């Protein structure tokens, strides 16, 4: 069994990552309590998003009604917007392993909230941030303490990428039914 340790960032209060059932593949990550440290980290990270998404002449703060903001003990995520949520957690991931972020079925299917960044490398020692996107047409309210996404422990075998001439790329492989068929090519 692989053991991955974690620690809570100073000033954060967050539920421990948890596997909700005996057969669960992932560990759920939760939205931390809205301490000053969480609010400051949330504002800092989401200001970066706004600076990228909004023309410089029209810059807005992280509490603009058309962008993500905090209200009481909830994150309000407007339609078709994204946010970066600090997890309050750091992970000590062994060499040759990674944590892979994955959507929680209920959050993505029922609420239309998906996450963006998927990989947490073993050489990353900082706080983990949860990148989320509201794919819906109405604003979503995400309460502190709610399970937001899950992480899975994945082994990363040693590998090497080697460039070869295009004509040599598949010379040792049998032709497949799909071949060079790209997006949508396997639909019936």
Read off the pTM.
0.81
Place of tokens 């000590």: 92
> Residue ranges of the alpha helices (H) in the chain?
36-53, 105, 111
Full residue range of the structural domain in which residue 31 is found? 5-160
Chain-centre distance of CA 55, in angstroms?
Answer: 25
Distance separating alpha carbons of residues 5 and 153, to the nearest angstrom: 12
CATH classification at residue 26 = 2.70.40.10
Digit-coded pLDDT (tens) for 80-130: 888 999 999 999 999 999 999 988 888 888 888 998 888 999 999 999 999
Q: Is 179 part of any domain?
A: no
């Amino acid at each position: 069994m692989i053991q991955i340790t974690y620690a809570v960032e100073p000033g954060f209060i967050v539920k421990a990552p948890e596997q909700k059932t005996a057969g669960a593949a992932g560990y759920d990550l939760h939205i931390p309590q809205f301490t000053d440290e969480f609010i400051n980290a949330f504002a800092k990270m989401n200001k970066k998003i706004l600076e990228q998404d909004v023309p410089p002449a029209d810059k807005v703060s992280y509490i603009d009604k058309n962008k993500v903001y905090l209200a009481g003990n909830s994150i309000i995520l407007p339609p078709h917007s994204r946010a970066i949520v600090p997890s309050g957690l750091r992970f000590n991931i062994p060499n040759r392993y990674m944590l892979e972020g994955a959507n929680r079925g209920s959050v993505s299917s029922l609420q239309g909230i998906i996450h963006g960044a998927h990989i947490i490398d073993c050489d990353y020692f900082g706080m983990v941030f949860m990148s989320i996107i509201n794919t819906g047409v109405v604003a979503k309210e995400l309460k502190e303490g709610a399970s937001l996404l899950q992480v899975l422990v994945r082994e990363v075998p040693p590998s090497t990428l080697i460039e070869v001439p295009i004509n040599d790329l598949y010379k040792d492989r049998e032709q497949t039914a799909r071949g060079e068929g790209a997006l949508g090519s396997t639909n019936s």
